[in-house]
Each structure stands twice: as structure tokens, then as C-alpha cells.
Amino acid sequence: MMEAAMSFSQGINDEYEKFIRRMNPPRVVIDNEYCKNATVIQVDSANEHGILLEVVQVLTDLNLIITKAYISSDGGWFMDVFNVTDQNGNKITDEGVLDYIRKSLGPDACFTSSVRRSIGVKQSMDHTSIELIGSDRPGLLSEVSAVLTHLKCNVVNGEVWTHNTRAAAVMQVTEEETGGAITDPERLSMIKKLLCNVLKGSNKSREAKTVVSHGGTHTERRLHQMMFADRDYERSSDDALGESQRPDVNVVNWHDRDYSVVTIRSKDRPKLLFDAVCTLTDMQYVVFHGNVDAEGPEAYQEYCIRHVDGSPVKSDAERQRLVHCLEAAIERRVSEVGLKLELCTADRVGLLSDVTRIFRENSLNVTRAEVTTRSGKAVNTFYVCDASGYPVDSKIIDSIRQAIGQTILQVKNNPEEANQNPQESPSRFLFGGLFKSRSFCNFGLVKSYS
């Protein structure tokens, strides 16, 4: 009876929200004339919890750089203004991209309550999603990918994050034989069991978890949720990261307006705004006003928030937890020490296992990884440091690139590479064809489109 009542209530809420949307359809206005160095995107709609993240996620998934943002959602109406550029700092002129933004955020978008609660989720049956969480250690990604290769699974997409001694991964895998999702319950059970054993390692004090599903997920948001649930924001007394290296996060209560004001200052980087808004949303805070300025090397973010129950931050313990969670959200994607390596070659089963094994054999530790397959090509990015957490000796990188092939494995943030012309190494075939086929005042004037 209770489940039936909850289902009936949810159905009424969905219908009410659809009615509100029909009466107040979202409006998207894109202007390439007003600002001389950015495209201005304004989104107006009926206000709902999670809509800010919805908008930010669409822009972030297109790899757009948000240089400024103004947010206002007091009352029942939501207005967001973003200044955005492409990765090269240019305005967005591609009509395909602009049309996608209009359709994704405008009145033609078909949103339901269930979709908003899992923003960005795309259902798919052509792969199996595997979520992993456990203690980080050198060589962990190599061991995980070796198990998957042994089980004849191919990793087609995935991301791995490490933070505060913990590691989390979301991987999309397919059957080697069929190229589709893994459906055999016994194989799925075996995959979970073996991967969980790898994740546990010798650490019995912290939980390791493996989840296998056929549903879709937004990888980056899911990684934030997994690490937050794993409490990676709790710092040990011997935390090596100094206070000066952390983002500057402050939370104070604005008693006159019954808001809590969150300010964040940190080194700017792509997807920084998404990481902050994702964390605030998943912690059940609502942003009523916001100001973001990221035109220089440092990014400034300011948010007026309340909990979904309408209250500001109530205690010092809650304030400290919010500060630590936002710090963690920003740090998870940062790889200050790690060297960035990009690999591009024909995809095949076992490729990730072979590459990470080579890293492990050369005492490299992967701190973050992005695995993508595009039209049969593996385009993978690895952030690596040595096993002790220090920068990698350039001689080791040279040795690995000579073995793999310098045009296949590129170093992206090593100044020493700037004066080197990539050449194919004659010794690349030593691996036996390894890589063959297979504050609001700072925002300035915002143009009104009313």
C-alpha cells in the first residue's frame, strides 16, 4: 500500500512539473555580438532543484569553457547567463553546437522528473557499466584491466580518479566475442568477485565495492557521487597536501537574507564550475544566486545557498563538512604532480591492460585516466607520477615512448617535449605488435533579452 501511495504521489508530482513546464517553457537565447571575446548564453525557465546542474552539465559535456556566469533563481523563476568559449578561447560559431544547446535546454527538450534526478544519464544496452571503489595503490589500474582482459572484456570507455588514498572508476565494457553488453549472470558475478578481490588488496580496514549494471550513467557526476559516499573528503592528520595548495573555500551565513554564502577561490581549470555545482546539488543545497569569474588564471565562485529544506547552514560541523566536500570535489580532478600522457592507436581487447602494465613495470603510478574509443581508435589520457608520488624522470618517459612508439604516446605537459619532433621508434616492435589493430558586482553588465 505504501509503495502504491508513493508511486501515485510521484505520478502527481511528475504531471504537475510537466504542467508548469508547458505554462512556462524554457527559453534559450544565444548572443555572439554583445561580448567581444565570448558567446553569451542565457537560459530562463521555471525553477526546479537540479536545473542549474542540468544547464552546466550540457555546456561542460560540449567541452566549452565558462569564463563568467550569473545565476539567479529566487522565487519560481530561474535565470542563468554564461559567457563561454571553445577550448582555444574563441566564440562558439558552429551552428551544430549552438543548435544542440538550444534543443537540449530549450522548450523542445523533453524532461521528466526521473531524468532530472539522474541528469545526463543515457540508457544503453550496447555495453556493461562497472563501478569500482577501493584503496588506491601503485599498479591498481594495471591489475584491474588485466583481470578484465583475462575475462575477455574490452574497456571501450571509462574514467579513473584517485583522491586521498582512495580510487574510483566507472568503466564501460563489452564482450570480446559479441562486442555487446555482458548479460550472463554467472560471468557478471565472476567479474564482480574478481575485481572486488583486486580492489581489497591487503587493506582490510576500508571497504571495496564493485557494481555492475546495464543502465546508463553520467560518468563524471557518478564519480563525484561515489567518492562522496566513500567519504574521501575526510582527511587524515598526516595529509601530505599543504593548506596553501588547497582551494580557498569559505562558508558564512548572511543572516539578513537567511542565506549561507559560499566563496571559492582556486586555480582555474576546465570543468571547475561543474565540479562545484555537482557537489552542491548532490549535497542537497539549492543555489539561489551565484557569480562566477574565471577570466584569469584564478577562478572566483560565489553562491548564496540554502538546504532543500529551506534552511541555511545550521552548525559549524555542517559548515566544515561543506568546506571539505567542496575542496575534495575540486581536488579530485587536479593532477598537479602528474605528467599527462596521451595515447592514440587502433583499439583492441587488452590494450589498456598492456599499456598500464608497461607503466607499472617502469614504476609509474596512474593518478587519473580517461579512456575513450572513437571509430575503432583508442584515445586515452593518463596522468602519471612515480610510485612515490613525485614527478617522473624524463629518461623513464623516453624509454617508454621508444618502446611503444613516440607518435602513439605523446607527452602533453612536459616543457622538454616542446623542442622535440616526434619520430617513430624502430624499437616499437619489441612488444610483438602490441599496438596493431584490434561577488555579483564583479560580473559586470549582463545584457537583458526580455
Decide if 251 contacts 262 (C-beta within 8 A).
yes
pLDDT of residue 423: 41
Instruction: Return d(Cα 136, Cα 248) in angstroms, integer.
Output: 26
pLDDT of residue 82: 97
Q: How many CB atoms lie within 10 A of CB 2?
A: 6
pLDDT of residue 201: 73
Instruction: Return d(Cα 170, Cα 373) in angstroms, integer.
Output: 15
Average pLDDT over residues 268-278: 95
- Return the higher-pLDDT residue of 213 and 444: 213
What's the predicted TM-score (pTM) here?
0.83
- CB-based contacts of 211: which residues, under 8 Å, 6+ apart? 130, 131, 192
With a pLDDT cut of 90, the percent of the chain lying above it is: 61
* pLDDT above 60 for 115: no
Q: How many CB atoms lie within 10 A of CB 338?
A: 22
**Edge-to-edge strand list for the sheet holding 166-175:** 209-213, 128-135, 166-175, 153-163, 364-374, 377-386, 339-346, 409-411
- CB-based contacts of 384: which residues, under 8 Å, 6+ apart? 338, 339, 341, 359, 364, 365, 366, 367, 392
Provide the mean pLDDT of the chain: 83
Instruction: Return d(Cα 365, Cα 375) in angstroms, integer.
Output: 29
- List the single range of 140-144, 158-162, 202-206, 357-361 with lowest mean pLDDT: 202-206
All three cell numbers of 407:
607518435
Average pLDDT over residues 124-138: 88
Instruction: Return d(Cα 388, Cα 384) in angstroms, integer.
Output: 11
Q: How many CB atoms lie within 10 A of CB 410?
A: 16
Q: How many CB atoms lie within 10 A of CB 102?
A: 18
pLDDT of residue 416: 46
Q: In a 3-state reduction of DSSP, which class is residue 317?
A: helix
